[in-house]
């Protein structure tokens, strides 16, 4: 099937997933950029599920990698870890981008913890710093709650005044400092990409109150909040945004900074999971 994903199909996806993988009590969804090698003491990475087997829309391969979700199990409890995410710039529709979030919520998950790579809009933020996101600017031009999605699974006009859970943010700030990160808190500006911003756009985003800019995560946050999940988002500052330094931006730079921070980020997520569950 490759038509438009509907709420009824989403329910069937969740039912099939339940039957096939028996996830038991799903506590949370962790959304990690690909390449994060998570290890959580006390939890077993029991199964890696190919998402093409789960969702009824075609997946765009990400540099040849399968798109998977790992089920971490402890007794009858499960954590779902999404390895790499779906982006609008890859050509996914908004309801496809957030399908893993809705799946986790339909399976009972009450929390989403997401990491992402961003450009720093403030020149004071060095590459490799971590920003605990406390609000966002949705400049994507789309919202995954439009149409029938907004009338299914949650309120049509969900409140976003505290989209990023204050208690989780406090916990994350101390755990991030313990893991060795320089930590700031601030606003994530979401743009569609895939081109990086122009220097004029960077000045605009900064004057609008953004601290970091990225091409993901906001659709997932909107869908998660719509379904009542608590949300924590941690942004790695991978590069100074365009125009803040005198050289062009490359995807390689972003990947390299992600690779450098991967172990620290994995330690941080491991310690957060240990504190939370």
Q: Which of 73, 71, 62, 72 is nearest to 34 (CA)?
A: 62
Report how far residue 277's alpha carbon sits from residue 42's, in angstroms, rounded to the nearest whole number. Answer: 10
**In the numeric block, which tokens belong to residue 59?**
């997946």
- Angle formed at CA 89 by CA 240 and CA 248, multiple of 5 degrees: 30
Closest approach, Cβ 188 to ligand HPA, in A, equals: 10
Bond before 194 cis per omega within 30 degrees: yes
- Nearest distance from C-beta of residue 246 to ligand HPA, angstroms: 15
CB of 171 to ligand HPA, least distance (A): 25
Rank residues 2 and 252 by Cβ distance to ligand HPA and give the closer one.
Answer: 252
User: Between 40 and 130, whose beta carbon lies closer to ligand HPA?
Assistant: 130
**Measured from the CB of residue 172, what is the shortest distance to ligand HPA in angstroms?**
20
Distance CA 277, CA 273 (A): 6
CA nearest neighbour of 230 among 160, 153, 165, 158: 165
Instruction: Find the residue with minimal CB distance to ligand HPA.
Output: 119
Nearest to 71 by CA among 102, 45, 38, 101: 45
Smallest separation, CB 101 to ligand HPA (Å): 20
Binding site for ligand HPA (CB under 6 A): 117-119, 196-197, 213-215, 238-239, 241, 249, 254
Q: Is 6 exposed, middle or buried (0-12, 13-18, 19+ CB in 10 A)?
A: middle
What radius of gyration, in Å, describes the C-alpha atoms of the chain?
18
Of 164, 166, 50, nearest in space to 113 by CA: 164
- Closer CB to ligand HPA, 143 or 192, in the complex: 192
* Residue closer to ligand HPA, measured from CB, 112 or 127: 127
Q: Closest CB to ligand HPA among 107 and 187?
A: 187
Nearest-CA neighbor of 105 among 228, 277, 15, 5? Answer: 228
Instruction: Decide whether 5 or 133 has the Cβ nearer to ligand HPA.
Output: 133
CB of 234 to ligand HPA, least distance (A): 14
Shorter beta-carbon distance to ligand HPA: residue 14 or 215: 215
Closest approach of ligand HPA to the CB of residue 238, in Å? 5
Task: Identify the sign of the CA torsion 169, 170, 171, 174.
Answer: positive
């Amino acid at each position: 099937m490759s038509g438009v994903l509907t709420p009824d199909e989403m329910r069937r996806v969740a039912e099939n997933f339940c039957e096939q993988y028996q996830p038991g009590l799903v506590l949370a969804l962790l959304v990690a950029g690909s390449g994060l090698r998570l290890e959580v003491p006390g939890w077993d990475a029991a199964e890696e599920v190919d998402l093409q087997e789960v969702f009824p829309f075609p997946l765009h391969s990400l540099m040849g990698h399968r798109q998977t979700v790992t089920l971490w199990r402890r007794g009858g409890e499960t954590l779902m870890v999404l390895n790499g995410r779906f982006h609008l710039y890859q050509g996914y529709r908004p309801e496809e981008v957030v399908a893993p979030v809705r799946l986790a919520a339909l399976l009972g998950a009450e929390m989403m913890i997401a990491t992402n790579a961003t450009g720093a809009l403030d020149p004071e933020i060095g590459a490799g710093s971590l920003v605990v996101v406390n609000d966002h600017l949705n400049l994507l031009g789309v919202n995954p709650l439009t149409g029938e999605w907004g009338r299914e699974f949650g309120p049509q006009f969900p409140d976003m005044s505290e989209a990023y859970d204050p208690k989780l943010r406090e916990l994350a700030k101390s755990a991030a400092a313990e893991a060795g990160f320089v930590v700031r808190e601030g606003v994530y500006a979401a743009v569609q990409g895939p081109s990086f911003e122009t220097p004029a756009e960077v000045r605009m985003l900064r004057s609008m109150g953004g601290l970091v800019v990225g091409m993901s995560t906001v659709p997932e946050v909107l869908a998660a909040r719509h379904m009542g999940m608590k949300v924590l988002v941690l942004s790695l500052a991978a590069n100074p945004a365009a125009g803040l330094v005198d050289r062009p931006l490359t995807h390689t730079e972003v990947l390299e900074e992600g690779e450098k921070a991967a172990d620290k980020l994995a330690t941080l997520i491991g310690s957060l999971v240990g504190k939370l569950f």
